[in-house]
Chain A
Amino acid sequence: MSDLILDVQGLRKTFRLSAKQQKIEKTKQKVKVAVDGLSFTARRGEIFGLLGPNGAGKTTTLRMLATLIKPDAGDALVDGASIVSQPERVRSRIGFLTSELKLEDFFTPNYLYDFFSDLHQVPDEVRKPRKQALFSRFGIDQFAEVKVADLSTGMKQKVSLVISIVHDPDIIIFDEPTNGLDVITAKVVTDFLQELRGQGKTVLVSTHIFSLVEKLCDRVGVIIDGSMALCGTLDEVCQGKSLEDRFFALYVERMGKDA
């Protein structure tokens, strides 16, 4: 099936906990299983949502897909490239956005755009019109020469978003894309994600906000405690109930009555 662009198979990630972390997490276990045999697929031109509570392993999954960290087991094919054996290929095919990725305060959006275009080897004649379009789309043009340090949180987030797609990737992976944004800026972002889908791109977002999934996603995977509880189209997952009700039912099923 040629429109299968993301194929995640049995991803597993554990973290060794230091004595300090054990105390914080209130556990005696030395190893934390953050992601436990996660599998799912995403198709070209769809928005796939990873929904899960805090600590479910969403960010860890996305960091593995973006090749920042390596899985203990399992693999994923990103447009045919393996995140384990071909990380450099994967990196040139995805755009990744998470709050962990910071921009250097000292530079301006204009400088950073060119810098990351260089790193992605985007030719000059392509980068210029693309920069102009993205900057005016997000209202960055007035702030193009303002240092990142002096930008508002929302504007910083927009610049980060634009920087993450300087190379016009086919797969866009955004971790909690609307976190910390006001409703207006959040709408700008979600509108843009829909626009990207319209261009045939695949968007993978993680969130714990039900309404965002209902509004945005074609398909959704519910992650609870590191593994996939349910995965399918929005209608398949909801089965006529609201997403929130379905989620709580699943959660109780998985974690036991006392949860």
Chain B
Amino acid sequence: MKNGMLTIFRKELARFFGDKRTALAAILLPGVLIFAVYTFMGSALSSQFSVDEDFVPTVQAAALPDSLSTLAGQAGLEIQPAAGVDQAKALIEGQELDLLAVFPADFDDQVAAYDASSGAPAPAVELYYNSASVDSSAAYEMMSALLDSYESSLSNKFDVNPGSQAYDLATDADTAGTFLSSMMPMLLMIFLFSGCMATAPESIAGEKERGTIATLLITPLKRSDLALGKIFALSIIALLSGLSSTIGTLLSMPALMQMEGNVGAAYTPVHYLALCLVILSTVLFLVACISLISAFAKTIKEAQTYVTPLMILAMVVGVTAMFGGGASASLWAYFIPFYSSVQAMVGVFALELNWTHLLITVASNLVYTAMGVWGLTRMFNSEKVMFQR
């Protein structure tokens, strides 16, 4: 004998995947779009704040001392004498000149005569630049670095980090973990929610709106089977769409963070398993929530309107991942829907996996889902809800 739940489950999937264009749009498109947008954002960010490798700034100086003109030549800075200070400033404003350096007339003598312990003001060099221009900013950096190193060469007592080895001991894994644990939980909540939104209102409010649910309700099909079959099928579709978005995000991470290699390399299969459990239970809970709301609504549009506040709530809760430095330590946090999922994901991404927290999250999500299925079953049984006008 056939199982009613399985029949509904297969019908829902047949409905979704039978329409190739919608299925592709709902599943592949989010991932591809996210990958394209993030990769573009990453490369746009990096090109916006850096200059070409063989960049030579145009620099003018007033009263350039001999000591610095040789140093500048060695550093690859070509410095022209300034025709006039005001004239040069106007050129910088118009972004035609990158930098103007104004030295005191007898700079070398003043520097040699200056006693730092005297408390008198030190000889001053003025650098004029235009921060709106990337080239000008770069010229400013180069010139200040040159002057700094000249200054320290005059009275070198000690150096900080003089060598070329790596002093930052954070591993790629730590960097990736910190970054991913603040970003991914929110993104995942959004992706999963949109995945549910793409199908649940259509499948439940839509069937009400089109009058096809009544045709199901006059068959001996159990209402609980109808609720379960729909929730499982919708969860699978939401998971697929969430998965594509997640893969798109992870693939674009290196470009976005300007990091080398594979960002996921730090995570072990156990982390992936934990993440899958959290995501799976979260999706079931989300689908149950959205299905319940959709069952109340008379039309798909109405359902989408009712669900919007919930989506905003889920996003706001997702933002909590960015604060607080790591996952919440208090046990009760893992009983709160949405919040528990976000915090459990933070734990996994930050490589601070806590199985107690994780299992509480999964179990509470499943309990809330079961309550949702019970509620949905009652609504399918209620003529007021199903046939309201």
Question: A and B from one assembly?
Answer: yes
Give residues in A with beta carbon < 8 Å to B.
18, 21, 66-70, 88-89, 91-92, 96, 100-107, 111, 115-116, 118-121, 163
Establish whether residues A106 and B19, one from each chain, have CB atoms under 8 Å apart when the complex forms.
Answer: yes
Return the CB mask of B1-32 against A: 1 if under 8 Å, else 0: 11010010001001100110000000000000
**Distance in Å from the Cβ of A80 to the closest Cβ of chain B?**
16
In the bound assembly, the distance between CA atoms of A106 and B19 in angstroms comes to 8
From the candidates B7, B207, B211, B217, name the one contacting A115 in the complex (CB within 8 A). Answer: B7
- Given A118-B2, A119-B4, A119-B7, verify A102-B211 contact (CB < 8 Å): yes
Pull 29 A–B residue pairs with CB atoms less than 8 Å apart, ordered by A: A21-B389, A66-B218, A68-B217, A68-B383, A69-B383, A89-B220, A101-B218, A102-B211, A102-B212, A102-B215, A103-B215, A104-B15, A104-B212, A105-B210, A106-B15, A106-B19, A107-B15, A107-B18, A115-B7, A116-B219, A118-B2, A118-B4, A119-B4, A119-B216, A119-B221, A120-B219, A120-B220, A121-B2, A121-B220
Establish whether residues B215 and A67, one from each chain, have CB atoms under 8 Å apart when the complex forms.
Answer: no
Judged by a CB distance under 8 angstroms, whether B214 is at the interface is yes
**Which residues on B sit within 8 Å (CB–CB) of A111?**
14
**Which residues on A sit within 8 Å (CB–CB) of B18?**
106-107
Number of A-B contacts (CB under 8 A): 64
**Which residues on A sit within 8 Å (CB–CB) of B211?**
100-102
Judged by a CB distance under 8 angstroms, whether B114 is at the interface is no
**Which residues on B sit within 8 Å (CB–CB) of A92?**
220
**Distance in Å from the Cβ of A139 to the closest Cβ of chain B?**
22
Q: Chain B contact residues (Cβ within 8 angstroms of A): what range?
A: 20 to 34
**Distance in Å from the Cβ of B385 to the closest Cβ of chain A?**
12
Chain B binding surface, main DSSP class: helix
Establish whether residues A101 and B215, one from each chain, have CB atoms under 8 Å apart when the complex forms.
Answer: yes
Judged by a CB distance under 8 angstroms, whether B387 is at the interface is yes
Give residues in B with beta carbon < 8 Å to A.
1-2, 4, 7, 11, 14-15, 18-19, 207, 210-212, 214-222, 383, 387, 389
In the bound assembly, the distance between CA atoms of A213 and B220 in angstroms comes to 30
Taking CB as reference atom, which chain A residue is nearest B4? Answer: A119
**Which residues on B sit within 8 Å (CB–CB) of A118?**
2, 4, 7
15 further interface pairs, Cβ-Cβ under 8 Å (given A115-B7, A118-B2): A18-B389, A66-B218, A88-B220, A89-B220, A91-B219, A91-B220, A101-B214, A101-B215, A102-B211, A102-B215, A118-B4, A118-B7, A120-B219, A120-B220, A163-B215
In the bound assembly, the distance between CA atoms of A111 and B15 in angstroms comes to 11
- Counting from the closest, the 8 A-B pairs by CB-CB distance are A102-B211, A119-B219, A92-B220, A118-B7, A101-B215, A69-B383, A91-B220, A118-B2
